[in-house]
Amino acid sequence: MSGIVFFATDQRSAIVDFYMERLDCTLWLEQEGCTILRRENLLLGFCDGEEPDTEGIVTIVLDSEGAVESWYSRLQDIAQSDPVENERFDIYHFFGSDPDGRTLEVQTFLHELPEEP
């Protein structure tokens, strides 16, 4: 299964730089007025708009608590809090914000996951 989540932005160059430099995304497709980035099986499209779409949460899923801690160290300037264990969802995570004010989450699952489709 694949798909793309699209967001409007009024600062596409800065948003693309942020996701590539800070969140390890790579360029997947460049189109006039829209850039699509990839991080493993996550595709994010950022398209020119009058105002940024900031609803929803972009979640980066990592393999371990140590990886979450490492990402927290490098994203501490945009983090909203320290990483914590969330017992309800059995995850370890923290939240932050991208330059448009969109909510970011960096997490790892603390339980076994089903095989990827």
Q: In this predicted structure, what is the pLDDT of residue 116?
A: 62
CATH of the domain at 65: 3.10.180.10
- Asked whether residue 85 is domain-assigned, the answer is yes
Per-residue pLDDT, 117: 52
- Has residue 49 been placed in a domain? yes
CA angle 105, 2, 59 (to 5 degrees): 0
At 66-95, the pLDDT tens digits run 999 999 999 999 999 999 999 999 999 999
The confidence band for 109, taking pLDDT boundaries of 50, 70 and 90, is: very high
* Owning domain of residue 60: 5-109
pLDDT digits (tens, 9 = 90+) for 42-52: 999 999 999 99
Residues 104, 34, 27, 4: what is their CA dihedral angle, to the nearest 10 degrees? 60
What is the Cα–Cα distance from 15 to 103, expressed in whole angstroms? 13
Residue 55 has pLDDT above 80, yes or no: yes
Query: Structural domain tally of the chain?
Result: 1
**Confidence (pLDDT) at 115:** 76
pTM for the whole thing?
0.84
pLDDT > 90? residue 97:
yes
- Is residue 116 assigned to a domain? no
Cα 117–chain centre separation? 21
Q: What is the mean pLDDT of the chain?
A: 93
